[in-house]
Every structure is written in structure tokens, then in C-alpha cells.
Amino acid sequence: MAKALLLIDIQNGFCPGGNLPVADGDIVVPIANSLMESGHYDLIVASQDWHPADHGSFASQHPGKAPFDMGELSGQPQVMWPDHCVQGTPDAAFHPELLTAKINYVQKKGQNPAVDSYSAFRDNDKAALTGLAAYLVSKDVTELDIMGLATDYCVKFSALDAVDMLPGVKVRLIADGCRGIDPKGVEEAIEAMREAGVDIIESSGITL
């Protein structure tokens, strides 16, 4: 029986000044920090979008495409993103104020140039697993709280996969600890998570 906090992609790239900034993305940092310091969690895990420079989700790899166009990657529809979170660059680093010393395990994702990986658990085509589900099972995690960036992409896909891949684990979304790319997408994402069985909560409701 263990309670885990999963911090999704709290990286410079998704914060103001980054290459794929989410409005007010950095506002989630103090929320993550106070939750990590609260003593509520037995285990703290963070994901990190970690792309090679030639990742196929980048518009720069598709002649004629601009960032945020729709395109294709390995035959599947794919949003064309600006180059972001390239391995080893400052854009891929965790936000400098995130208390990374409190993080027990970092799950990198998105390394395969031929497929995107919004979820911290597996690639978008659901073929390759990252190993995070097995890690959480090995730590006997029974409650998983999720927050981070971006609500309508990596947070959503991670929460849906958590429900799918961790049967018996209670999954909650800390809504005020998330920020998204598209306001309408955020509403739809929260509804999709709720329908899948994710509890939508606020960080203020988490107490020892």
C-alpha cells in the first residue's frame, strides 16, 4: 500500500520562455513543491519529455508543415509540434524551482523518433511500454495522484493509461496542479478523465 505522486513534464519547454509554452505553466511548480513537502506521499515520480533532435513530432522534420498543423507520423495523425524538449538541452530540463531532490524516480519518454509518447506509460501507438507501470506495481502503489503539463496532452494520456494499466489503483487528477495548451481541449480532457474513472480533485483537499 503506497501513495504516489506523478508529476508530468514540469520542464522548461512547457513553461513561459520554453519552446512549447503552456500559459501559466510555471504556476504548477509551487503546487508540486508543497505536495512533495507535505509528507502525504510515499513515492514521488516525474516524467520528462525527452526527444531526439530529429523527432518525427517536430514540424521541422516535415517539409511544408508549420508548428500546430496536423500531419502524419508513421501513418498516424500527428500534431506537428515546435521543436521541444530535445535531450540534454535546457528546454528539456525540469523547471529550475522544482524540488527535484524529492523525486524518487524519473521516467523519460518520447525517445523513439518514429512515434510520439504523450503518456508516461507507453508510446501513442501503445506498442512500447516505458516501464513506469511495472515500477509503480513493484513499489506496491495503490493510490496515484497526477498533475503537471499539459492537461490536454501528456497529463490526459498518462491518467487514462494509469486507469487502464494499473487495475485496482485509485487514480486522481489534481486539477489546480495542471495547465493545458488549448482551453477547449482542457475541458474535454478533464471530462474524458472523469468518464474513465479518474477522481478530479484540488490540491487543497490533500491532507495528511
- Residue 16's identity, in one-letter code, is P
Angstrom distance (rounded) from CA 136 to CA 163? 13
Closest CA to 158 of 177, 139, 171, 142: 171
The active-site residue out of 15, 85, 154, 178 is 154
Which of Zn ion, ligand VGL, none interacts with 154 (beta carbon under 5 to 8 A by kind)?
ligand VGL
Q: Does the annotation count 178 as an active-site position?
A: no
Q: Does the annotation count 154 as an active-site position?
A: yes
Q: What is the DSSP letter of 90?
A: G
CA distances from 191 to 13, 60, 101 (A): 26, 32, 33
Q: Which residues bind ligand VGL (CB under 6 A)?
A: 9, 14, 49, 81, 118, 149-150, 153-154
Angle between the N-to-C axes of helices 183-196 and 156-165, in degrees from 0 to 180, rounded to the nearest 10? 10
Q: x/- string (CB under 5 A) for Zn ion, residues 62-101? A: ----------------------------------------
Angstrom distance (rounded) from CA 120 to CA 133? 9
- Closer CB to ligand VGL, 118 or 121, in the complex: 118
Q: Does the annotation count 102 as an active-site position?
A: no
- Closer CB to ligand VGL, 47 or 203, in the complex: 47
The least CB distance from residue 140 to ligand VGL, in Å, is 27
Q: Which one among 26, 49, 83, 91 touches Zn ion, defined by CB under 5 A?
A: 49
Provide the grid cell at 170: 485509485
The residues that are catalytic are: 9, 109, 154
